Structure 1
Amino acid sequence: MIRFKFNLPILAFIAVIALSGCGSSGGPAPETTAPANSASNSAGSSNTASPASAYPVSIENCGRTLTFDAAPESIVSLWQAPTEMMLALGLDDRITAVAGNYAAYPNSIAKAAEALPVIGNSMSWPSKEVLLSQAPDLVVGQSLEGFAFDTSQGYASVEQIEEGGSQVYGSNLCSSADALNMTIETPYRTLRDFGMIFGVSERAEEFITQMEEKKQKVIDAVKDLPVQKVAFYNGGDGPLIVLAGGIYDDAIAKAGGQNVFPADSVYISKEDFAASNADVILIGTFEGQDFATLSDYITTNFPNLPAVKDGRLVEIPVADTDASISVMRGLTEIANGIHSDLNLEVPAS
């Protein structure tokens, strides 16, 4: 088998970069809701934090101990997933700037997100000078290696940020090696850490409980159904981009499927895709991609695949599979796509 591999830190983000020039048109934006006491109902609710007597608190993060004498008052978030989690926990009044977003924010937090100052964009983070000028108490990123902290691109390193007096938190993963170990439960750790850091642990646990309930509904619904062979296509026409490993494999497995491609796959030749024998093809779309165009490509070029013969091509908004607050929505969408008669209610989540 010919496989094209990356040492990939964040699979979905690499796919965004790879597809940024493809010229396709957008799919539907994800829709989520949050607990009753989350950002949609408690914007500016800093009074929900624990009293000063609860501090200091310490957490372990990426091989470091971070200690907080009080809840941070000013945060710069360099990645959308932790931004979403902080908004869902009602912490929008603490976020002084974000680097941009790579998808529409879930409906439950979209209003709060509109007010966030942006100092970068989805493909470029703030420069070292811009970031340090914010003088935040806390900088939040996803992966503390490269990307937003790549000094060769003019960004501040973790060490430089810390020297400026800010603490740095790595959400979901710490290095590129962690990407293949991500699961749909990965956001729980970040939510719990934010609960500790900001004194809103009860709210974080409530949110996690809701996510667990949504996950269990899917697991219970598919437990006696036949396992289906699944390809997760994300664009490209030679080689093809596929989503595999980490959170994608975990979601597919929990939804009653098996990814036909190895966990370290990113680019797959047309010959190998044709030989995959996939029963179902999930077509992941980012904003700016058109499901009809992508599905027409698959149907035209791979007519002999079981999934094509049976008409089992299903759109999945890739943002719904991110390690964030919408991941159980994505899990449900995947389960419905893998099992055509399932028809689970997709959570607003």
Structure 2
Amino acid sequence: MLRKSVLPVLLLGLLAGCGTPTADNPPGSTITVKNCGIDVTVAGPPKRVFAAYQPAIEMAHALGISDRLVGTAYLDAEVLPEYAGAQAKAKYYKNLPSREELLAANPDFVLSGFNDVFSAGGGSDESFGSRKSLAELGVQTWIFSPLCPTADGKGDEAIDPASVTMDNVYADLRGLGKLFGVEDRAETVIADQEKRIAAVEAKVKNAPRPTVAILRPGLEGGGLTVSGGPDFGTVLIKQAGGVNAFADLTAKRNVKIGVEELIKRNPDYILISGCCDAALTPASTQPDVDKLLANPAFQNLKAVRNKHVVPWLFANHSAGVRGAYTTEDIAKTIHPDLFK
């Protein structure tokens, strides 16, 4: 039980003015960028940023605002090596803090890689409160655009895999670059992502397209959970020269299936998507790989026969600055002859 304390009074008021979002805004002018249908307005680059979830934490480091982080929370795995030093210096919460703990850090901006930290209404024990309630306290917020919430705030909007691409990640980078006053850095990150992904796409252009299943391990209640079409993994697999074996399941990102369905689809590769701990590495999911390989029910699967069941990470298929890294990683896995 958290000790109750008086919440700090945040002195930053929500400014209603709307300035042109360019790098040329004079000091004191406001900048507004729309995110998930909400105008996000700042009177200057935010100085005290709280980042929740892997995509947001890694994007903050990529944008070069590590020194502005007053807190980070809930990593799904180790951060990419290039961000390890910066993350080691950041305050870290293993689980999402309460609204009270969040406000005690006195942030002026909350960046979240997923939508469930914000409620549709007021505060609750399970969330930071609504984006509106935080804005009224002078705390601006941002949700990664591929996962904008539904009107009731309880789920994701229906996501068409054909419309959600790395362009959504680039839009987030540009929007945050404007708000944080690091537009040049954002463009540098985007250029690097584009160059690396384009290099992979060129290499696999004329290669066969193996089918790939992303499988969540260790779930109770029977059955299996795979990544359906709306999952960002569909985009990443396509960029890497493969096809999501469950892309046609478009109702939601995570789809529960029976063992028979996995056998029927018979994917060429199975990526075991491990989660969720700040120290997690692909090697951490090897026991789940071994368990699947040893299961008599799966012995006739192509992926099992060919030892193409791969230890992997949930963090790899979240929309964010891992896009290029994950595209390269999948491509090397499913097209090893092209990446010797």
- Tell me if TM exceeds 0.5: yes
2:336 & 2:308 partners in 1: Cα distance? 8
Aligned residues of 1:316 and 1:333 also touching (Cα < 8 A): no
Q: Which residue of 2 aligns with 1:311?
A: 307
CA deviation string 1:123-180 (max 9, x = no partner): x422122222233221222344x44547443532222212222112222332111656
Amino acid at match of 1:191: L
Q: Which residue of 2 aligns with 1:284?
A: 273
2:207 match: secondary structure: coil
2:41 & 2:60 partners in 1: Cα distance? 19
Q: Which residue of 2 aligns with 1:205?
A: 187
Query: Structure 1's 210 and 185: CA in aligned 2 closer, same or farther, altered over 3 A?
Result: same
2:232 match: secondary structure: helix
Residue 164, structure 1, aligned to residue 159, structure 2: no
Q: Which runs of 5+ in 1 are unaligned?
A: 1-48, 345-349
Shift of residue 284, structure 1, vs aligned partner = 2.5
1:282 & 1:134 partners in 2: Cα distance? 38
Shift of residue 251, structure 1, vs aligned partner = 1.2
Residue 219, structure 1, aligned to residue 205, structure 2: no
Shift of residue 52, structure 1, vs aligned partner = 6.7
1:293 & 1:88 partners in 2: Cα distance? 31
Aligned pairs for 1:1-349 (under 5 A) are 53=26, 55-118=29-92, 120-121=93-94, 124-144=95-115, 146-149=116-119, 151-155=123-127, 156-172=129-145, 173-175=147-149, 176-177=156-157, 181=161, 182-236=164-218, 238-245=222-229, 246-261=231-246, 262-263=249-250, 264=252, 265-286=254-275, 287=280, 289-300=284-295, 301-343=297-339
Shift of residue 192, structure 1, vs aligned partner = 0.8
Task: Decide which moves more: 330-339 or 149-158.
Answer: 149-158
Count residues in correspondence.
Answer: 292
Q: Structure with the greater relative contact order (CA < 8 A, sep ≥ 6): 1 or 2? A: 1
Amino acid at match of 1:215: I
Aligned residues of 2:23 and 2:178 also touching (Cα < 8 A): no
Amino acid at match of 1:294: V
Percent identity between the two aligned chains: 29
Q: Which runs of 5+ in 2 are unaligned?
A: 1-21, 150-155
TM-score with structure 2 setting the length: 0.77
Task: Decide which moves more: 335-344 or 69-78.
Answer: 335-344
2:320 & 2:49 partners in 1: Cα distance? 18
RMSD across aligned positions (CA): 2.5
Shift of residue 210, structure 1, vs aligned partner = 0.6
TM-score with structure 1 setting the length: 0.75
